[in-house]
Amino acid sequence: MQRWRDRVAVVTGASSGIGAAISLELVKHGLRVAGLARRVDKVQELADSLAGSPGKLHPIKCDISKEEDILHAFSEVKEKLGGVDILVNNAGVVHETLLSDGSTDDWFNMFHVNVLGLSICTREALKSMRERSNGGGHVVHINSIAGHYDVSAPGFHMYSATKHAVTALTEGLRKELVSQHSNIRVTSISPGLVDTELLRHGSNKTLNPEEIYTRIPCLKPSDIADAVLYVLGTPPHVQVQSSSVIILCDKWEKFAIETFCFCSVHRD
């Protein structure tokens, strides 16, 4: 992580959970972090708690479902921090909604945040990375195991569809960057169940998040932050294409899978 010291990272959904944990670790490793979130006061609280750390957290108010907010946020990052070296697309929403009679508003919200917002942030970050003198960078998508497997729980197939889209977008971007002989890397990290506010803030009709988190072994936000540090810490010639982070437990051994795909970064 030493080579990223004093570089600039943008983390979306930085107000709580995984985004807050990632922001905290990056600041501790000496990065300047732009924490994007609607609840910017929460990001400011985290920034205040990190005073005196090697790096610094800069709160920026941004609703990832709105393109104008994203464009303004990246403009602010360029003006105040000089540009982007790392993007962590963490912001996401989940709503329990059936395909047969679900809410169109819930469907739109999930696609606007999980897919379109992620894509707009990626596009703007890539523009900035290409302008930087080092010519490199790293895009990290916080995906989900729901983006790789069929979800058995009714009401979560639309959410799963958004995460399958992230899987496809990761591979598509990787191929684009390879064809352009770019030094920018892209990684998808797919956690299993993580104890965060994601389910608690979604539209839940039959699901009780507290009961789920009590009954099923789950990951902590810091576990995902550790995975981000790992992929960022690999040498420049190595790309971690995808990673699944899942609880290891005898009771849940069928989910005890961790996959890393490595490929060299193409250069002239």
pLDDT in tens, 44-54: 999 999 999 99
Alpha-carbon distance of 260 to 188, in angstroms, equals: 10
In the chain, what is the greatest distance between 2 CA atoms, to the nearest angstrom? 54
State residue 268's pLDDT score. 41
- Per DSSP, the residues of 40-56 read HHHHHHHHHHTTTSSSE
CATH of 2-260, picked from 3.30.420.40, 3.90.550.10, 3.40.50.720, 3.30.60.50, is 3.40.50.720
Alpha-carbon gap, residue 260 to 255, rounded angstroms? 15
How do beta strands 238-245 and 260-264 pair?
Answer: antiparallel
Q: Considering the entire predicted model, what is its pTM?
A: 0.89
Q: Where are the domains of the chain?
A: 2-260
**pLDDT (0 to 100) of residue 242:** 74
Helices marked H in the chain — which ranges?
A: 17-28, 40-49, 67-81, 104-111, 118-131, 157-179, 198-201, 209-215, 221-233
Amino acid 203: pLDDT: 63
Residue 135 has a pLDDT of 63
CA distance 15 to 89: 13
**What Å distances lie between residue 178 and 128, 181, 263, CA to CA?**
18, 5, 11
C-alpha to C-alpha distances, 214 to 94, 193, 208, 210, 223, nearest whole angstrom: 19, 12, 10, 6, 18
CB 246 within 8 A of CB 257: yes
* Exposure b/e, 23-40, CB count within 10 A at least 16 = b: bbbbbebbbbbbbbbbeb
Tens of pLDDT, residues 225-268: 999 999 999 988 888 877 666 554 444 333 333 434 444 444 44
Residues involved in catalysis: 159
Say if residues 223 and 232 touch (Cβ distance below 8 Å): no
C-alpha span between 199 and 216 (Å, rounded): 14
Query: In this predicted structure, what is the pLDDT of residue 197?
Result: 79
Residues of the chain with pLDDT under 70: 133, 135, 200-205, 207, 209, 213, 243-268
Task: Return the SS3 of 149.
Answer: coil
pLDDT score recorded for residue 170: 96
DSSP state of 34: E
Q: What pLDDT, on a 0 to 100 scale, did the predictor assign at position 239?
A: 80
